[in-house]
């Protein structure tokens, strides 16, 4: 007992988690020191998440998510109390870009729309016809993805919903508002909207003016008028509303603390790296592959390669590319299960390990894989279209996905390094993908670099580390936080030169060439 405890809420596209992080060690009463500090994580609630199709539009069931959060907070408070620990803060992170619109009374006007919804098809082209892609990139440094918040807003610019709106809150900020009554825009997530100036770390008045001019219409409600003030990670958002705290069995004014509320930003904080010559893969539904930099890379070559400069904790830049990620596998498994086929992940991975490497590779980032639906069929189509043998069995499909992901990681790590000039000598994998040993080994093989895998709950750990520092329980820069985080987690190391089923480096170069020439 007696430890400082923090609650990390981390919601991904397929599940939400409420996790308690206890900070152990460090200064004790009476000037004693109880050994080096480390964080112990403990999951108290996990709940499913996914798209809900209503009237042909994919939504998030955000009230159900809030229920999962509050159930978790209640369970966490109970455990913390029983242990004799102290609940010091609550932090929330989730996937990016999506938002809820509130009216002037603060009521949520509609269920947030899911970023995989098709309403944004073609919108980026319409926007770039008015404000060029180059003009965008020079200000926001952001990759073009069909679902960037900016494009979602333009898709709905003439809607009755927008006309009724008074403010826009990204998902973690929305959940935080329900807990505290305070409206803010945490900066790491705000950097995924397309409306932020990557250099000033604040909304871009110039971009917003031009957007208003081009798409605002006659409405009294302006894009800029919807945006709350930007806050940096570590800012106290506010104490729990008394009624909320009471309902959750929490006593005292426990604050919600802004963390890297974009899950990827929190995951990068938890990368157990020392020094700066590392690449990371935050591997969940998406795989976010890149580097941590102190300045954005805004060159034309970077824009053409569709690298993003999202903002990180402590003034950093997350220079990365979105790779389609385990979504390809998750959605294949969903398709097989719906068809009544056995599709247990460990069995599938064991079978895939027996399939010859690099028989068929696909461009995982092709937009044809973005929407939900029959994934194995789409993969087979893509293989056929590029003149390759389409995978037939489940094992072949899984192998194709893993080989293709590793190939995409190889490209992204190498390009990020070239475009930024940063030397990379190790690749860190964090997130659910850590458990996928075959993928980790293939990643080492494909990149030709050692892979260090762990922690699995990267976003939750980064969330806790940033809260603990804001509360004064931890001190120091990102390197110091990383050292504390690394102490509490088991890491696995994969070398590019050995391992069962090792695929030598030149084979990847050949496969990459095959993919590029097929495109
Ligand atoms: C990962 C992630 C990515 C973002 C995608 C959509 O969970 O946050 O970083 O591009 O989800 O929001």
Could you report the per-residue pLDDT of 86-132, keeping only the tens digit for each?
999 999 999 999 999 999 999 999 999 999 999 999 999 999 999 99
Question: What does the alpha-carbon distance between residue 187 and residue 257 come to, in Å, rounded to a whole number?
Answer: 13
The residues annotated with a catalytic role in the active site are 263
Residues for the chain: how many in total?
519
pLDDT of 386:
93
Ligand 1 pocket residue status of 263, Cβ below 6 Å? yes
Pocket test for ligand 1, best of 151, 263, 312, 458 (most atoms within 8 A of CB): 263
Q: Whose CA is nearest to atom 8 of ligand 1?
A: 95
Q: Is the pTM of this model over 0.90?
A: yes
Atom of ligand 1 nearest to the CA of 192: 10
Q: Whose CA is nearest to atom 4 of ligand 1?
A: 96
DSSP H or E stretch at residue 461: helix 458-470
* DSSP 8-state secondary structure symbol assigned to residue 56: T
pLDDT of 393:
98
388 CA → ligand 1 middle, Å: 30
pLDDT of 499:
60
Atom of ligand 1 nearest to the CA of 322: 10
Question: What does the alpha-carbon distance between residue 85 and residue 79 come to, in Å, rounded to a whole number?
Answer: 9
* DSSP 8-state secondary structure symbol assigned to residue 59: E
Question: What does the alpha-carbon distance between residue 454 and residue 27 come to, in Å, rounded to a whole number?
Answer: 27
Pocket test for ligand 1, best of 15, 51, 149, 192 (most atoms within 8 A of CB): 192
Atom of ligand 1 nearest to the CA of 264: 9
Ligand 1 pocket residue status of 94, Cβ below 6 Å? no
Strand partners, 427: 279, 451
Please give the share of the chain, as a percent, with pLDDT higher than 90: 94
95 CA → ligand 1 middle, Å: 5
252 CA → ligand 1 middle, Å: 34
478 CA → ligand 1 middle, Å: 22
Question: What does the alpha-carbon distance between residue 83 and residue 387 come to, in Å, rounded to a whole number?
Answer: 61
Ligand 1 pocket residue status of 115, Cβ below 6 Å? yes
By DSSP bridging, strand 278-283 and strand 287-293 are antiparallel
CB 108 within 8 A of CB 100: yes
Ligand 1 pocket residue status of 360, Cβ below 6 Å? no
pLDDT digits 0-9 by tens, 421-450: 999 999 999 999 999 999 999 999 999 999
Q: Which of 338, 351, 361 is nearest to 393 (CA)?
A: 351
Backbone angles phi, psi at 202, to 5 degrees: -140, 165
Ligand 1 pocket residue status of 296, Cβ below 6 Å? no
Question: What does the alpha-carbon distance between residue 270 and residue 265 come to, in Å, rounded to a whole number?
Answer: 9
pLDDT of 27:
78
Q: How many helices (H) and strands (E) does the chain have?
A: 19, 21
Cis status of the peptide bond prior to 510, with omega within 30 of 0: no
Q: Whose CA is nearest to atom 1 of ligand 1?
A: 95
Pocket test for ligand 1, best of 96, 150, 194, 321 (most atoms within 8 A of CB): 96
Question: What does the alpha-carbon distance between residue 335 and residue 52 come to, in Å, rounded to a whole number?
Answer: 16
pLDDT of 503:
86
Atom of ligand 1 nearest to the CA of 95: 8
> Positive or negative, the Cα torsion across 349, 351, 354, 358?
negative
pLDDT of 203:
98
**pLDDT tens, N- to C-terminus, the chain (519 residues):** 899 999 999 999 999 999 999 999 987 767 777 789 999 999 999 999 999 999 999 999 999 999 999 999 999 999 999 999 999 999 999 999 999 999 999 999 999 999 999 999 999 999 999 999 999 999 999 999 999 999 999 999 999 999 999 999 999 999 999 999 999 999 999 999 999 999 999 999 999 999 999 999 988 999 999 999 999 999 999 999 999 999 999 998 999 999 999 999 999 999 999 999 999 999 999 999 999 999 999 999 999 999 999 999 999 999 999 999 999 999 999 999 999 999 999 999 999 999 999 999 999 999 999 999 999 999 999 999 999 999 999 999 999 999 999 999 999 999 999 999 999 999 999 999 999 999 999 999 999 999 999 999 999 999 999 999 999 999 999 999 999 999 999 999 999 976 666 888 889 999 999 888 877
Q: Is 516 exposed, middle or buried (0-12, 13-18, 19+ CB in 10 A)?
A: exposed
Q: What token pair was written down for 473? A: 């329980």
């Amino acid at each position: 007992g007696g430890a400082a405890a923090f609650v990390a809420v981390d919601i991904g596209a397929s599940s939400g988690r409420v996790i308690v992080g206890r900070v152990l060690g460090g200064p004790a009463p009476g000037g004693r020191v109880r050994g080096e500090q480390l964080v112990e994580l403990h999951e108290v609630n996990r709940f499913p998440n996914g798209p809900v199709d209503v009237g042909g539009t994919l939504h998030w069931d955000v009230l159900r998510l809030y229920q999962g959060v509050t159930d978790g907070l209640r369970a966490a408070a109970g455990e913390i109390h029983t242990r004799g620990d102290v609940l010091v803060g609550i932090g929330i992170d989730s996937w990016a870009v999506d938002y809820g619109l509130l009216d002037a009374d603060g009521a949520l006007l509609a269920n947030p729309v899911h970023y995989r919804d098709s309403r944004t098809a073609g919108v980026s082209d319409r926007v770039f016809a008015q404000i060029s892609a180059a003009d965008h990139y020079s200000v926001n440094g952001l990759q073009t993805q069909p679902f960037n918040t900016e494009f979602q807003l333009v898709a709905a610019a003439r809607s009755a919903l927008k006309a009724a709106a008074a403010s826009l809150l990204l998902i973690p900020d929305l959940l935080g508002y329900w807990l505290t009554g305070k409206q803010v825009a945490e900066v790491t997530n705000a950097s995924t909207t397309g409306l932020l100036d990557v250099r000033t770390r604040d909304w871009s008045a110039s971009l917003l003016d031009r957007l208003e001019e081009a798409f605002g219409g006659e409405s009294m409600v302006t894009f800029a008028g919807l945006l709350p003030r930007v806050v940096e990670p570590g800012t106290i958002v506010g104490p729990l509303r008394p009624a909320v705290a009471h309902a959750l069995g929490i006593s005292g004014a426990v604050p919600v603390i802004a963390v890297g509320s974009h899950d990827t930003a929190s995951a990068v904080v938890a990368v157990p790296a020392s020094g700066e010559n590392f690449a990371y893969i935050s591997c969940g539904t998406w795989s976010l592959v890149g580097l941590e930099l102190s300045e954005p890379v805004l060159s034309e070559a970077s824009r053409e390669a569709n690298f993003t400069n999202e903002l990180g904790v402590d003034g950093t830049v997350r220079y990365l590319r979105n790779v389609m990620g385990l979504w390809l596998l998750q959605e294949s498994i969903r398709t097989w299960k719906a068809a009544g086929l056995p599709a247990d992940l460990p069995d599938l991975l064991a079978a895939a390990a027996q399939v010859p490497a690099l028989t068929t590779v696909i461009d995982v980032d092709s937009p044809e894989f973005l929407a939900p639906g029959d994934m194995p069929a789409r993969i087979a189509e893509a293989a056929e279209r590029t003149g390759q043998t389409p995978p037939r069995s489940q094992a072949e499909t899984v192998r194709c996905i893993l080989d293709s992901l590793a190939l995409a990681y190889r490209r992204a790590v190498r390009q990020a390094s070239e475009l930024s000039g940063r030397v990379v000598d190790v690749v860190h994998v964090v997130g659910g993908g850590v458990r996928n040993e075959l993928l980790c080994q293939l990643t080492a093989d494909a990149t030709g670099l050692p892979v260090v895998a762990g922690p699995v709950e990267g976003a939750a750990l980064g969330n806790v580390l940033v809260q603990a520092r804001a509360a004064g329980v931890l001190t120091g820069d990102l390197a110091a936080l990383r050292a504390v985080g690394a102490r509490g987690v088991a890491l696995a190391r994969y070398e590019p030169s050995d391992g069962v089923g090792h695929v030598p480096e030149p084979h990847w170069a050949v496969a990459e060439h095959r993919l590029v020439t097929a495109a």
